[in-house]
Amino acid sequence: MAMHVRPVLAANWKMNNGPTAAAAFLDVFLAKHGACDDRTIILFPPALTLAAVQAGLAGRADIGVGVQNIHAEEKGAYTGESSAAIAVDAGATYVLVGHSERRHVFGETDDETARKCARAVQHGLTAVLCVGEKIEQREASETEAVVLRQLQAGLSALAPDAIRAIIIAYEPVWAIGTGRTATPDDAAAVHRVIRAALCELVGDDGHAIPILYGGSVTPANVAALLAADEVDGVLVGGASLDPLGWAAICAA
Ligand code: PEP
């Protein structure tokens, strides 16, 4: 069943852009990118930059903001961490969960992604659950198994209505920050597998859940990726740091 999903363009700034750099970014980006209501644009700045981004976005309710991570626990003695409640209080409405750098640099497990998704939902945050295989898994033909395992685990603690409100990002680890992008056909093949799994969980409503592609997306390749079957948007790291490049991606 084909269904039109409103495109989602999301920028993951990772550990780049402090408050000063973010304000300068927004000056350029907002001058280039006028408000539009046919797509969802989300910025994921570092947590300490969230307030500066919100100040810079004043009057631009068309652009959402999120955090790159939350802790799975409600609160407590977790020095250096931020909870879902703190993220909401600070103005975030979205959260990345299970980004490949969280999984492979910080050792985040499938169980933690499940608990983080549940905590996000409990606090009204829209979770963007990231899944994706490593190069050796792709070469061993394990892509589908890895992606399905991460997807099913990440969603395992959610009721069907919460699953309906989630966003998925397929980000092959070998494509993140490497300049090596999945072809539109490769992305579509994995997105179809994810779509089928979502429909198994929530029926036809699974067609309305945005599935984003991430991994070395640029202004030059974004249109072809967005045109691929079942690709409803993009999650962009490096290319989202250039305000004019990001404006070009948002206009794709
Ligand atoms: C990311 O960080 O989610 C990402 C896709 O990075 P990049 O666009 O730099 O590959």
Per-residue pLDDT of the chain (252 residues; tens, 9 = 90+): 456 789 999 999 999 999 999 999 999 999 999 998 999 999 999 999 999 999 999 989 999 999 999 999 999 999 999 999 999 999 999 999 999 999 999 999 999 999 999 999 999 999 999 999 999 999 999 999 999 999 999 999 999 999 999 999 999 999 999 999 999 999 999 999 999 999 999 999 999 999 999 999 999 999 999 999 999 999 999 999 999 999 999 999
CB half-sphere exposure, 134, CA atoms < 13 A: 7
CB of 177 closer than 6 A to ligand 1? yes
Cβ contacts of 161 within 8 Å, gap of 6 or more: none
Give the pLDDT of residue 252.
93
146: tokens are 């890895």
Within the chain, strands assigned E span: 8-12, 40-44, 63-67, 94-97, 126-131, 167-170, 211-214, 233-236
User: How far, in Å, CA of 252 to CA of 249, rounded?
Assistant: 5
Question: CB 37: neighbour CB atoms within 10 A?
Answer: 7
Give the pLDDT of residue 69.
98
Mutate which of 9, 12, 97 for ligand 1 pocket (most atoms within 8 A of beta carbon): 12
Give the pLDDT of residue 2.
52
Q: Which atom of ligand 1 lies nearest, measured to the CA of 178?
A: 10
Please choose, from the candidates 112, 106, 141, 105, the residue with its C-alpha nearest in 3D space to the C-alpha of residue 129: 112
Please choose, from the candidates 76, 180, 161, the residue with its C-alpha nearest in 3D space to the C-alpha of residue 121: 161
User: How far, in Å, CA of 228 to CA of 184, rounded?
Assistant: 5
Which residue's CA is minimally distant from atom 4 of ligand 1? Answer: 237
Q: Which atom of ligand 1 lies nearest, measured to the CA of 216?
A: 10
User: How far, in Å, CA of 224 to CA of 213, rounded?
Assistant: 11
CB of 100 closer than 6 A to ligand 1? no
CATH class, range 8-250: alpha beta
Q: Which atom of ligand 1 lies nearest, measured to the CA of 239?
A: 8
